[in-house]
Amino acid sequence: MRFFACLLLALPSLAFATDVFGDVSGVWDEVHSPYNMVGDVHVPAGQTLDIGPGVQVVSQGFYKLTVDGTLHAAGSQAKPILFTAANHTTGWRGVRLLTAGPTSSVAYSVFEYAKGTGAWPEVQGGGLIVRTCSPTVSHCTFRFNLSQNSNFNGVGAGLLLSQSDSVVSDCQFLSNTCDSGAGVCVMDSGSPTIQRCLFDSNSSRYAGGGAYLGAGTSPTLDANRFFRNNSGGYGGGAINSWTSFLLYNTKPTITNNLIAHNSAATGGGIYCRYDRADIFNNTIVNNIGHGIFALNQGQPVYIGNCILWGNTAAQIGLEGSTGSVVNVFCSDVQGGWGGTGNINANPHFVNATADNYRLGFGSPCIDSGNNSSVLGPFDIELRPRKVDDPKQRDTGFGGSPVVDMGAYERSAVTKGGPGTLVGP
């Protein structure tokens, strides 16, 4: 009976191609690829679908792959899995992990040309939706996805995390388009971690070109690179944080990120709206607009061990009508900013013209941070933090060795890690 059901739901239409629709489980391998979705596909609760390296999943119409069971999408660097649409203009509805099994995982997979359109809530999400579950997502690429409607309800064109504690690592978010959170949207609740990812050329009409962090969430963004993302409306070219600390006691932790060449009218780098945030050891440079903009009602945004330089508006902007507050310490802020350990000095990057924002010899940011704000052992390149430069006088706090300001620690030692970081 099981064999008959598999035949019924996976009928070969061409040599080396398999049509799929309805309830599925089992193994999809490269030999029988591509798997052509000729209708909505569903992995039922209690069932598992394993997708192997080199498989192509091609939607022949505006269909979706929904997982209520367990999904193991395990591509490889040499043979990634491709989730795509046969018609790039029509697109498809993407992959949805809804209450998926706790061992679900997605690795070395490409999600492209998915579209969220229509009324809310159907407009939400594009390439991959993760809701009320926490799969691991690693080494994936999200590109050319969309989530938009006329009411600006679209969120998470690349990746939508809702009520999720997923760890998302070593991924790329490229040229996605959305209303809010074109690369990633975090919403509803949860404390996901997004680390070592590249966000490049994503665009939102409303908020958060690279990432939008919504109400009731406490995400961690660590060691990511944000380049050339854009946001209209409420701004935050790279990141818009609106986790609503006053209502939910939730806040983001934003550490060790490089944020450059992003743009927005308010907060070309980061916009914190009605929010508290911990923003430590970031390099926020050469953005169009403010480096950081804060609109809050007394709950401070903490900015420590950061470099804010070369942004076209004020390096730090405040909405005065609401009594907005930031607490800035041990940071290099062009033009100066009051606070303990802050400096106003050229950071002497190795080669900013070539987007090399490592600290050059003699940089005033070396050994000038505050050790109490170091939240992890490594910098953006997995180099150890708090490495003393014997040629540099310690001007920071916490006892030698003192952490450097910015995303990069000046050190010749690199920890072996999961792959080579992408981007400049």
How far is the C-alpha of 146 from the C-alpha of 125, rounded, in Å?
Answer: 8
How far is the C-alpha of 49 from the C-alpha of 58, rounded, in Å?
Answer: 16
Cβ distance 154 to 233 under 8 Å?
no
| Average pLDDT along the chain | 92
How far is the C-alpha of 367 from the C-alpha of 71, rounded, in Å?
Answer: 46
Query: Kind and range of the H or E element at 271?
Result: strand 270-273
How far is the C-alpha of 347 from the C-alpha of 357, rounded, in Å?
Answer: 9
Query: What are the φ and ψ backbone dihedral angles of 86, each rounded to 5 degrees?
Result: -65, -35
Domain boundaries, the chain: 2-347
In CATH, what is the architecture of 2-347? 3 Solenoid (2.160)
3-state secondary structure of 212: strand
Q: Which residues of the chain have pLDDT under 70?
A: 1-15, 412-424
The alpha carbon of 332 is separated from its chain's Cα centroid by a whole number of angstroms, namely 25
Instruction: Characterize 252-289 residue by residue with b for buried, 16 or more Cβ atoms within 10 angstroms of its Cβ, and e for exposed.
Output: bbbbbbbbbbbbbbbbbbbbbbbbbbbbbbbbbbbbbb
Distances (CA, A) of 374 to 105, 218, 255, 319: 30, 18, 9, 28
Beta bridge partners of 111: 83, 142
Paired tokens of 158: 């690349």
Residue 420: its pLDDT value, please?
30
Model pTM above 0.85: yes
Q: Could you tell me the strand order of the sheet in which 301-304 lies? A: 26-28, 48-51, 70-74, 105-107, 136-138, 167-169, 193-195, 220-222, 253-255, 277-280, 301-304, 326-329
Residue 297: its pLDDT value, please?
81
Residue 15: its pLDDT value, please?
55
How far is the C-alpha of 197 from the C-alpha of 200, rounded, in Å?
Answer: 10
Residue 421: its pLDDT value, please?
27
